[in-house]
Amino acid sequence: MRKIPVADLDALRSVKMGEFVALEGVLLAMRDRTLARLAELKKNGEPLPVPLAGRVVFFAGPTPGLADGRGAVGPTTSRRMAAYLPFLCDTGPVAIIGKGLFDEKDAERLRSCNILYLQAIGGAGAYYGARAGGVGAVAFEEYGPEALFELTVHDFVVMMTLDGAGAAWR
């Protein structure tokens, strides 16, 4: 299995649909409430706490124990975030990680704004938790598990679902 540094955008874009790869680097973990807040900030023309351009967004909310090496983290349902895809298209992350497929029209939107989609295995929280080296809330700590986190990962196994050539797994 290829190891792909998440900061290496060309390497990420070279991964083919259906390929399993091991990600290395720092992900931006967020879910429902942070996405709603970020989209609102963007709409009002206010600055985001962290720029998303070129980053890898992971739809997830970790357990608190992750910081002490005994926690869990894993993907949450991607299609629930469909409402925030226009926002994500506007802010330019290179890729999204989540679980499950997007509807065809949402996959088309991702394709049109060059965002890759990778799936992690849903419900494998201990497995991914053991591959997450560090976690810290970088904004919206008051949202608890729905805060915006930076998550350092190694050997983080995901499958390319919508690749750089626009090929989508169905």
Which spans of this chain sit near another protein (rule: CB under 8 A)?
18, 20, 32-33, 60-65, 68, 70-74, 76-80, 99-101, 119, 121-127, 129-130, 143-146, 157, 159
- Please choose, from the candidates 1, 131, 15, the residue with its C-alpha nearest in 3D space to the C-alpha of residue 75: 131
What are the helix and strand counts (H, E) for the chain? Answer: 5, 7
Q: How far is the CB of 1 from another protein (least distance, A)?
A: 9
**Cβ at position 64, least distance to another protein in Å:** 5
* Residue placing its CB nearer to another protein in the complex, 51 or 70: 70
**Structure tokens given for 40:** 């609102």
Residue with smaller CB distance to another protein, 62 or 164: 62
8-state DSSP, 84: G
Structure tokens at 98: 């989540």
Query: Which alpha helices (DSSP H) does 46-98 contain, by range?
Result: 85-91
Task: Cite the DSSP H helix spans in the chain.
Answer: 9-14, 32-43, 85-91, 104-112, 125-129
Q: Which is nearer to another protein, 71 or 164 (CB)?
A: 71
Nearest distance from C-beta of residue 94 to another protein, angstroms: 22
- Indicate the residue among 92 and 100 with the shorter CB distance to another protein: 100
Q: How far is Cα 119 from Cα 162, in angstroms, rounded to an integer? A: 9
For the beta carbon of residue 51, count every other beta carbon within 10 angstroms: 12
Query: Rounded to the nearest whole angstrom, what is the least distance from the CB of residue 3 to another protein in the complex?
Result: 16
Nearer to another protein, 9 or 157 (CB): 157
**Beta carbon of residue 170, minimum distance to another protein (angstroms, whole number):** 8
